[in-house]
Structure 1
Amino acid sequence: MINKSGSANWKGGLKDGTGTVSTESGVLDAENYGFAKRFEGAPGTNPEELIAAAHASCFSMALSMVLGEGGFTADDISTKAVVTLDKKDDGFAVTKSHLTVTASVPGATAADFIKAADTAKANCPISKLLNAEITMDAKLA
Structure 2
Amino acid sequence: MSRAPRLPPRWFIRLAWSTHRALYRLTRGRIGLWPPKKGRWGALRLTTTGRRSGQPRSVILAYFEDGPNLVLMAMNGWGEGEPAWWLNLQTHPEATAEIRGGSRRVRGRRAVPAERSLLWERWRAFDADLDAYAARRSTETAVVILEPQ
Larger Rg: 1
User: TM-score when scaled to structure 2?
Assistant: 0.27
